[in-house]
Structure 1
Amino acid sequence: MRRAILLALSIVLSAVASVAAAQDDLLARVEAAGTLRVANTQGHAPWDFLDDDNRLTGLGIDLANELAARMGIGKVEFVPARFPDLIPGIQANRFDLVIAGHTITEERSKIVDFSLPYMAIGTSVFVRTGDERIRTLDDLDGKSVGTLAGSITEGYLAAEHGDKKLDVRAYENATLALSDLAVGRVDAVIYSDDAGAYIARINALPVVRAVQVNREINAMVFRKGEDRFGQALNAAFRSIIDDGTYSSLSAKWLGSVDMAAELKKAAAD
């Protein structure tokens, strides 16, 4: 009798422990709530920003909605936060996922987990569509090059390409620089891949990327140790890449930049 009672008690305690573990499991909680809480800064076009009608939009927003749908989660709740508060917010369970351009670092990996890379982006040389003269950085020799006033690029050109005869022209904003490129006032513009492609798309500017200067790999962030959530998230993201959806979303927001192709290229390097 005593042995039967102990066995029953063991079964009950095991069941309670299983329920408690399930309740503390991020994937189980998200599925039960039917809502995925995604944080971003809401000020980073073309990834997440407020449009003219004050609606949250962008490539990162479309990606989050697609991920949730493929994970079987019915709703996405977007939570605005300052960039420095995003990782602490994950640790404090204020949100479930961050899609905000975090580079994978050893230091961050100690306190949060990362998804598969979703963004391979950096700085590129933009040229007019059809201009075949610039295909490497060496081809900038003797050319006029637009940069943002006070940007890192100005210092980079001086430090790394000071031996070339560059006519460096500083602009107050990227739209003006790319507009001047489109009409031939400068031969090239060095600017952020994604933002440059977005500006070109929304302003119908005939400019394209010629050569990438540098590249940064970013991933989505979630709570440390949430392996089941990470597996479900990565499986959903792989399917978004494999069936061409990510390429379509990239075309919608980035025009000449196919983010799925950029990720494959980065993985092969």
Structure 2
Amino acid sequence: MAPPFGYANDRDTPGTTRRSLLAGVAALGALGAAGCSRVATASTVAGGDLLERLRAAGVVRLGIAGEIPFGYIDKNGQLTGEAPELAKVIFKRLGIDKVQPVPTEFGSLIPGLNSQQFDVVAAGMYVNPERCQQVIFADPDYQMLDSFIVRKGNPKGLHNYKDVVAKKAKFATGTGYAEIQYAVEAGYKQSDILIVPDQVAGLNAVEAGRVDVFAGTALTAREVVKKSSKAEATQAFAPLVGGKPHVDGGAFAFRQTETRLRDAFNVELRRLKKSGELFRILRPFGFTRDEMTDLTAKQLCGGGKSGAS
């Protein structure tokens, strides 16, 4: 996963389409949405008063992109995934008992947040300077490296983007993935990249021999190849950005005015990290201890506005 400059990927599992996941979330979200399509007006007080308003309402609306393992409808029709399960725990600690999904496309998450369609982005969104100019982030709840999907045995010996360029491999990645930029930075011609909808389509392209490699996040790559007899995931690696290894981190996003809510969220997130409960929440969704992180939003925002206190 790594949508451009840090969106989460379309990480659907085999047999599950992103469209079907969005439809499922839409059906669930509609239950509580009748008669009210937008959240309350934006806070005007310093630091925002959204936390108090959410406590009074007893519900927080989450901008969700309908993706496994970040937020999806399970076989029992229940909303689950890394972000919703984490949101349930943290917001309950903040005095808000209910989370309500608001489904949207990845590209609409930040615009939807800033236009009051929901209260928080809960979609495993990568933190980067571009996004930090538009929203404020909590500290990352996970970090992520890249990985390739290749044919069994990795016949071309592809382990990083420089290998792809040097061996003139046929390269694919997902729509809007950050891996596009990583490959271009390594010297791959952007017009030669095959863009596919998601990692399932990428797996299919590798298995069919249409490409030599599909690039995605380590998590999505290792999950999608589990049932494949023709493909495997390479060892996770850090792409080079500006000549230096780069590790991405995913986090919840908030409107720039709502620093009080973001700060309160961070306090609880840090407690979960310290106690080890964060890993227990994320582990069922394929996360490993290697993906737990102490990275901060301020670090990942770089020259952008982190809003960090």
Which residue is 1:114 aligned to?
Answer: 137
Larger strand share, 1 or 2: 1
Code of the residue aligned with 2:219 in structure 1: it is D
Alignment of 1:42-191 (within 5 A): 42=66, 44-125=67-148, 148=172, 160=186, 173-175=201-203, 190-191=215-216
Question: What is the aligned residue count?
Answer: 236
- TM-score normalised over the length of structure 1: 0.63
Answering whether residue 271 of structure 2 is matched by residue 245 of structure 1, we say no
Percent of aligned pairs sharing the same letter: 26
Alignment partners' CA distance in 2, 1:142 and 1:126: 18
Alignment equivalent of 2:255, drawn from 223, 226, 235: 223
**Residue 173 of structure 1, CA deviation:** 3.3
Alignment partners' CA distance in 2, 1:123 and 1:54: 31
Code of the residue aligned with 1:194 in structure 2: it is L
Which residue is 2:53 aligned to?
Answer: 29
Alignment partners' CA distance in 2, 1:155 and 1:226: 31
Alignment partners' CA distance in 1, 2:259 and 2:184: 46
Give ranges in structure 2 of 5+ residues lacking alignment: 1-43, 189-194, 241-246, 301-309
Q: What do you get for the CA RMSD once the two structures are aligned?
A: 4.7
Change in Cα spacing, 1:37 to 1:154, as seen in structure 2 (3 Å) is closer
**Residue 48 of structure 1, CA deviation:** 1.4
Give ranges in structure 1 of 5+ residues lacking alignment: 1-19, 163-169, 181-186
Which residue is 2:65 aligned to?
Answer: 41
Secondary structure class of the residue paired with 2:260: helix
**Residue 69 of structure 1, CA deviation:** 2.2
**Residue 226 of structure 1, CA deviation:** 1.8
Secondary structure class of the residue paired with 1:225: coil
1:111-166 deviation line (CA, Å, top 9, x unaligned): 432211234324224799xx9x99877889999x896478886997798489xxxx
Secondary structure class of the residue paired with 1:38: strand
Does the 8 Å contact 1:125/1:211 carry over to 2?
Answer: no
Answering whether residue 221 of structure 2 is matched by residue 196 of structure 1, we say yes
Secondary structure class of the residue paired with 1:79: strand
Code of the residue aligned with 2:123 in structure 1: it is A
Secondary structure class of the residue paired with 2:250: strand
**Which has the higher relative contact order, 1 or 2, with Cα contacts under 8 A spaced 6 or more apart?**
2
